[in-house]
């Protein structure tokens, strides 16, 4: 493994593609991530569906790759059929949770509650937001990561870093006014290394990416391209 002072963050949201996000397909993506981490030192986060959390945690257990749930329900453990409290997610061995994704928006009060409760049990929290303003509002609540993703570009292959660079610079500016520490990511339409490079040059620490990796015939190549481009941007 090549060590880097700084390395780009690549957070991979598996979403709910079938069969890509499930079973052996889910593990194959994790194995590709391990290989890229070994070669580049990229900081990778994997967010598979709830059903795959234990298998992915096991797959990456000897690496610094982190596993996040895609969502967390704002409930305490108890009589909640079909919901999973943070304690139950933590029990799978994961390191954190994504919350408030544009496909799973949460109420403001619940975002706050989840951040507090997650931190109490040593889980990291990555909050998604749709525009710089809501990114800053989320940042006030002191999560570990904020990822600003314009919903209109999600899944389009048109990357935010090219199509709307002002969303990224605006996010960095607004978020930094209220929170100096939170790690800032961006996403939506990220599909190539150059999108990651642009995102980092605009002031983020990395990207949140989904279909470009999860539905790829060769996830290893895509993750590697993104990792190398991200490193280049950080060193440049």
Binding region for a second copy (CB under 8 A): 13, 15-19, 21-23, 49-51, 53-55, 69-71, 75, 77-85, 87-89, 91-92, 98, 100-112, 129-131, 133-134, 136-138, 140-142, 154-155, 174, 177-178, 210-211
- Conformational region of residue 41, where left means phi above 0, alpha means psi within -120 to 50, and beta covers everything else: left
Q: Which residue of the set 25, 71, 101, 124 is catalytic?
A: 101
Specify whether the CB–CB gap between 197 and 12 falls below 8 A. Answer: no
Specify whether the CB–CB gap between 222 and 212 falls below 8 A. Answer: yes
The dihedral built from the CA positions of residue 113, 117, 119 and 124, taken in this order, carries a sign that is negative
Look at residues 145, 63, 62, 57 and name the one whose alpha carbon lies nearest to residue 100. 145
In whole angstroms, how close is the CB of 123 to a second copy at the nearest point? 14
In whole angstroms, how close is the CB of 89 to a second copy at the nearest point? 7
In whole angstroms, how close is the CB of 232 to a second copy at the nearest point? 29
Question: Measured from the CB atom, is 111 or 231 closer to a second copy?
Answer: 111
User: Is 101 one of the catalytic residues?
Assistant: yes
Separation CA 160–CA 132 (nearest Å): 13
Question: Measured from the CB atom, is 66 or 71 closer to a second copy?
Answer: 71
User: Is 80 one of the catalytic residues?
Assistant: no
In whole angstroms, how close is the CB of 235 to a second copy at the nearest point? 32
In whole angstroms, how close is the CB of 151 to a second copy at the nearest point? 8
Specify whether the CB–CB gap between 192 and 226 falls below 8 A. Answer: yes
Specify whether the CB–CB gap between 92 and 50 falls below 8 A. Answer: no
**Strands 206-209, 66-69: parallel, antiparallel or unpaired by DSSP?**
unpaired
Q: Could you give the 3-state DSSP secondary structure of residue 33?
A: helix
CB contact burial 79-91 (16+ within 10 A = b; e otherwise)? eeeeebbbebbbe
Neighbouring-strand partners of residue 44 = 10
Question: Measured from the CB atom, is 5 or 79 closer to a second copy?
Answer: 79
Q: Which residue of the set 25, 52, 124, 149 is catalytic?
A: 149
Catalytic residues: 101, 149
């Amino acid at each position: 493994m090549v060590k880097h002072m700084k390395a780009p963050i690549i957070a991979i949201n598996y979403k709910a593609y079938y069969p890509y996000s499930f079973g052996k397909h889910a593990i194959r993506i994790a194995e590709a991530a391990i290989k890229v981490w070994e070669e580049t030192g990229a900081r990778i986060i994997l967010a598979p569906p709830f059903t795959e959390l234990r298998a992915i945690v096991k797959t990456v257990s000897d690496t610094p790759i982190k596993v996040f749930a895609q969502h967390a329900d704002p409930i305490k453990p108890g009589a909640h059929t079909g919901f999973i409290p943070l304690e139950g997610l933590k029990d799978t061995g994961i390191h954190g949770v994504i919350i408030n994704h544009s496909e799973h928006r949460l109420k403001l009060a619940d975002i706050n509650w989840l951040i507090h409760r997650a931190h109490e049990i040593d889980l990291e929290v990555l909050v998604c937001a749709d525009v710089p303003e809501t990114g800053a509002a989320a940042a006030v609540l002191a999560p570990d990561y904020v990822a600003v993703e314009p919903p209109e570009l999600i899944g389009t292959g048109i990357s935010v870093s090219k199509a709307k660079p002002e969303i990224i610079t605006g996010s960095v500016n607004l978020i930094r006014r209220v929170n100096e520490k939170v790690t800032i990511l961006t996403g939506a339409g990220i599909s190539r290394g150059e999108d990651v490079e642009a995102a980092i040059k605009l002031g983020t620490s990395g990207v949140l990416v989904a279909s470009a990796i999860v539905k790829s015939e060769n996830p290893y190549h895509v993750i590697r391209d993104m990792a190398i481009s991200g490193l280049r941007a950080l060193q440049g």
